Amino acid sequence: MNQEQQRPQELSSINPGHREDIDDNNGEGSSAGVTRAERPLYPAPRIPPPRNLHPPIQQCSSISAYERLNRIEEGSYGIVYRARHTSSGRIVALKKLKMQNERQGFPITSLREIRTLMMASSHPNVVRLHEIAVGDTLTQIFLVFEFVEHDLKTLLMDMGPGLFSLSEIKSLLRQLLSGLGHLHSHWIIHRDLKSSNLLLDNRGRLKIADFGLARLYGEGGPAAKPEATSRNGDQAKSSSSNRTRSPPPGALTDLVVTLWYRSPELLLGQTDYDTAIDVWSVGCIMAELLKGEPLFQGKNESDQIIKIFTTLGPPTTTSWPAVKDLPLAPSILKSFSRSPLCTPSLTSRSPRSLLSSHLPTSVEQHGSACLDLLLGLLCYDPSQRLTAEEAEKHSWFAREPPRPAHPESFGTWPSRAAGEVRRQVDLRERTPSAPPPGPRRRRGEDEVDENGSRKRSREGTDSLSGQRKRQEYELDFGF
């Protein structure tokens, strides 16, 4: 036997599949008309998928490409600046990560924030992460976000109560539920929803921000978890918003979510929670928009759970069957039942009656669907609590007037993040006969000139005339 006859046998011992390819059809090859010498010894390499199917892998930009304009705020995990890209002129928000005290590498909160934003920032109601910029040292790492002019809490504090009309509140809540449903459909729990983490731009678009505590809750894969049962007793249909996956392996921490927006199951020590804790936070935000201030303002965890019990009534095994299994529930419920706050009038009244007494009277005048939605979001039992998708389709948005306002119809306000300061000017000495305008003016509304007559405003123009200077509120652009 010559050397050429031995070679296929040697290759077949290395790659058994090669001999099957050669010896099919009595050694004539698997393809007709192809001889053994013409067939390749090894199979052709697999063609990789195109790059556009994967996130782009690029080099991080240098922070020298950005010009810092002013400092916005400082948090526990970073400092946020407003900056301008020198070549394109785009205004962005730079978040400098605090790396000085990190001894175990890159901070886990920032890794989670980057990961979740790469998965979900394509939604219009989720803040967009443009890129990551680095400096000359390992401590100079910046997350480059789109710049949004306001956060909801600062806007409410600066402009006072009654800032938003009911139709605008509906629009804000619907955008919030849309963005939250998108996060939950990607198996992301935000775990820190509050009014200060909701951004609002000058076009009326709300964006969910600050994903430092966000967590993927489906890392363990699908689990044999029973389907949630709806309020009418039927089993809910499985969808992207239904909670059909178990949390990641191991217990999760219950020290998440700012205290005033923390759900009762977290306050009672539950560690196997899911997306229902975000829905409770949405209910607190909805009540804050309707009331003008947070609904549950506890001083500590014990005071917070008492505030919830006195507002909604204490939970029972009927309203929340699993409450008895929570670690802190027996002692807290027993202590509350013996306190003077647990009166017969509190336990005998329905949650609807108790909650309506803590809200403005105008809420009941707008119809019953508003309270129905709020009670569905603030339901004690997490398995019976509305999902983000169910809440977004609630009849309060579609059927009960007024309809949600279009984002473009929102007014504009001075942006503290952009260095714009709202300053009151005394007009009595300068124009005593001029009627004082309101604290804000909508796009396209009429403004009053110095003689009291109305003139049509021009959107997008900043006049430096004397009439402009005699307005009650001026913008001081001082960085």
Structure tokens at 420: 């714009």
- Report the alpha-carbon distance of residue 394 to residue 133 in Å, rounded: 42
- How crowded is residue 103: how many other Cβ atoms within 10 Å of its Cβ? 4
Q: Give the catalytic positions in this structure.
A: 192
Torsion angle of the four alpha carbons 45, 49, 50, 55, in this order, in degrees rounded to the nearest 10: -130
Closest to 69 in 3D by CA, of 153, 127, 158, 147: 147
| Residue 81, strand partner residues | 71, 94
- Report the alpha-carbon distance of residue 227 to residue 238 in Å, rounded: 8
Cα dihedral across residues 136, 139, 145, 148: positive or negative: negative
- Cis previous bond, 402, omega within 30: yes
Per 3-state DSSP, the chain is made up of helix, strand and coil in percentages (nearest 5) of 35, 15, 50
End-to-end CA distance of the chain: 89
- Specify the length of the chain in residues: 479
Q: Is 170 helix (H, G, I), strand (E, B) or coil?
A: helix
Pairing of strands 188-189, 129-134: unpaired
